[in-house]
Structure 1
Amino acid sequence: MDFKLLLTTFGTLFLAELGDKTQLACIMMAAKTQKPWTVFVGSSLALISVSFLGVLFANFICHYISGDLIKKIAASGFVLVGILMFFDKI
């Protein structure tokens, strides 16, 4: 196992998810239901499932498209979203 990649992935996702709407939704559900362990298990399974689908999709798509092209497409998408947000279009 590549521990450097493992720690990089963990750190990136941990920081990206910290304080986002998913975490806020979990806080609200746990507070409302008073069942924090059920909310924890449900949210953990959801994050695992979404991550698994993302990795499967990436593995599939990388057989057909080069990593450099994927990086350029993703960067262009982020720039486009930023421009649309700047002009209050989304």
Structure 2
Amino acid sequence: MDWKIFLTIFGTVLIAELGDKTQLATMLFATDQHTSKWQIFFAASAALVVASAIGVLAGALLSQYINEKYLHYAAGIGFIVIGIWTLWRA
């Protein structure tokens, strides 16, 4: 395993997920006194694993048809557009 790549992906996804809608929804579920915190943890973890698997599969499929360089450009432009849109709505 390439630990540099692992840690890069881990750090990027962790930072991206902190404070997003997923974390806020999970925190709201955790406020329910009648629901097991372990059940919430495992359900939320499983959902993130499935979402990540979809991302990996979609990326692998796209990379078969689109040059990696163009995918990087598209991702970069997408993040910029989302950032501008977020600032505009603030």
TM-score greater than 0.5 by the shorter chain:
yes
- The gaps in structure 1 that reach 5 residues or longer are none
- The gaps in structure 2 that reach 5 residues or longer are none
* Correspondence for 2:50: 49
- Aligned identity (percent) is 40
What number of residue pairs does the alignment pair up? 89
Query: Structure 1 length normalisation: TM-score?
Result: 0.84
Does residue 21 (structure 1) correspond to residue 21 (structure 2)? The answer is yes
Distance 1:80 1:59 in 2: 24
Shift of 1:87: 4.1
- CA RMSD across the alignment: 1.9
Shift of 1:27: 1.1
Per-residue Cα deviation, 1:14-69 (whole angstroms, up to 9, x for no partner): 12111222111111101114411000000000000000110011111111111110
Distance 2:74 2:2 in 1: 27
Distance 1:70 1:7 in 2: 22
